[in-house]
Amino acid sequence: MDKQNKRVVLVTGATGGLGTAMCKKLYEDGYHVVGNYRSKEKSEPWLAEMKKDNCHVELFYGDVSDFDSTAEMIKKIERDIGPVDTLVNNAGITRDMRLINMTKDDWNAVINTNLNSVFNCTRNVLQGMMDRKFGRIINISSVNGQRGQFGQTNYSAAKAGMHGFTKSLAMEVAKFGITVNTISPGYIATDMVMAVPEKVLNQIVAQVPMGRLGGTEEVAHLVSFLASDKSSFITGSNYSINGGQHVY
Ligand code: CAA
């Protein structure tokens, strides 16, 4: 077992479509995988499913949109499992509607879960990474943070904000052996994307040169690469993975 195989990876929003694929891939690649969840109804069936697939993941409750809940969760993980070497900020929600119909709650829920969570989680693992002179922070953004999307002012603002965070933090922590990168997936076959009205989704897929949705495992491979030693000179970058939907 090489050195990277003992590293602890925390994936937030682990029970979602992308999170599940990431946990499986990272486990397969030899990491000690810790998942975070918020919905208690989802966690038990999810763990049973992972066990059936021979994938060993430890699951910890925490509301990453809340700083204190996140701090408490990370303290527990570090006490029970060990220091977090790699953090994948993956938790996210949508509340799609035109801004003219958006309430303060719809705005705040998305900003808190998708963007403030990145601060909440990173702030609570960063000192340890700096002390140990190693860290990987991978922020899961979106093509819609790069190009905008009708009905997603809240989501696009949060996702664009994540990459600003990535670029600035990358500069601050490079000298500590910590890399910080963003992945911007396009439309991937997850429950979140399948909730888009069928007619609208068909129109979106028609704009993707590859003519299909992405697979969750296609994103998971990139996460595992960015978590590994092979990516050690890559920081402050944004990786598009969208089938050619947005090129620039
Ligand atoms: N461009 C221009 N006009 C549009 C439009 C578009 N893309 N979509 C809707 N409209 C117009 C309609 O034609 C209609 O106009 P008129 O009133 O003049 O006829 C008006 O907007 C209707 O707006 P409503 O507020 O009544 O809303 P709606 O019920 O039609 O729903 C919506 C609007 C919520 C934006 C819906 O179209 C939708 O869900 N769109 C998908 C948004 C999307 O792609 N979300 C991604 C989710 S997955 C994800 O986020 C993962 C990831 O990272 C990629």
**Centre of ligand 1 from the C-alpha of residue 150, in Å:** 5
40-59 pLDDT per residue, tens = 899 999 999 999 999 999 99
Average pLDDT, the chain: 96
**How many C-beta neighbours within 10 Å does residue 161 have?**
19
Looking at residues 194-206, what average pLDDT do you find? 97
How confident is the model at residue 230, as a pLDDT?
Answer: 97
Domain range list for the chain: 3-239
For ligand 1, atom 20, the nearest C-alpha belongs to 98
Q: What are the tokens at 175? A: 């000298």
How confident is the model at residue 67, as a pLDDT?
Answer: 98
- The continuous run of DSSP H or E covering 89 comes out as strand 86-89
120-146 pLDDT per residue, tens = 999 999 999 999 999 999 999 999 999
pLDDT at 20 over 60: yes
How confident is the model at residue 3, as a pLDDT?
Answer: 45
**Centre of ligand 1 from the C-alpha of residue 153, in Å:** 11
Catalytic residue among 27, 155, 187, 239: 155
158, 39, 173: which is closest to 89 by C-alpha? Answer: 158
Q: Residue 145 CA: which ligand 1 atom is closest? A: 53
Looking at residues 14-39, what average pLDDT do you find? 97
8, 1, 2: which is closest to 134 by C-alpha? Answer: 8
Helix (H, G, I), strand (E, B) or coil at 76: helix
Q: Residue 197 CA: which ligand 1 atom is closest? A: 39
27 is catalytic: no
**Centre of ligand 1 from the C-alpha of residue 162, in Å:** 23
Rg (CA), the chain: 17
For ligand 1, atom 30, the nearest C-alpha belongs to 97
How confident is the model at residue 1, as a pLDDT?
Answer: 37
Q: Residue 97 CA: which ligand 1 atom is closest? A: 34
Q: Residue 94 CA: which ligand 1 atom is closest? A: 50
131-188 pLDDT per residue, tens = 999 999 999 999 999 999 999 999 999 999 999 999 999 999 999 999 999 999 999 9
How confident is the model at residue 248, as a pLDDT?
Answer: 87
How confident is the model at residue 6, as a pLDDT?
Answer: 82
Distance of CA 193 to the CA centre of its chain: 15
For ligand 1, atom 47, the nearest C-alpha belongs to 193
85-130 pLDDT per residue, tens = 999 999 999 999 999 999 999 999 999 999 999 999 999 999 999 9
182, 172, 165: which is closest to 129 by C-alpha? Answer: 172
Contact indicator for 196, 204 with CB cutoff of 8 Å: yes
How confident is the model at residue 4, as a pLDDT?
Answer: 46
**Centre of ligand 1 from the C-alpha of residue 186, in Å:** 17
For ligand 1, atom 35, the nearest C-alpha belongs to 151
116, 121, 115: which is closest to 135 by C-alpha? Answer: 121
Q: Give the predicted TM-score (pTM) of the model.
A: 0.96
Report d(CA 84, CA 119) in Å as an integer: 15
pLDDT above 70 coverage of the chain, percent? 98
**Centre of ligand 1 from the C-alpha of residue 156, in Å:** 14
Ligand 1 pocket, CB under 6 A: 94, 96-98, 101, 142-144, 149-152, 155, 187, 192-193, 196-197, 200, 204
Superfamily of segment(s) 3-239 = NAD(P)-binding Rossmann-like Domain (3.40.50.720)
pLDDT above 90 coverage of the chain, percent? 96
For ligand 1, atom 4, the nearest C-alpha belongs to 150
Q: Order of strands, edge to edge, in the sheet holding 178-185?
A: 57-61, 32-37, 8-11, 86-89, 135-140, 178-185, 238-241
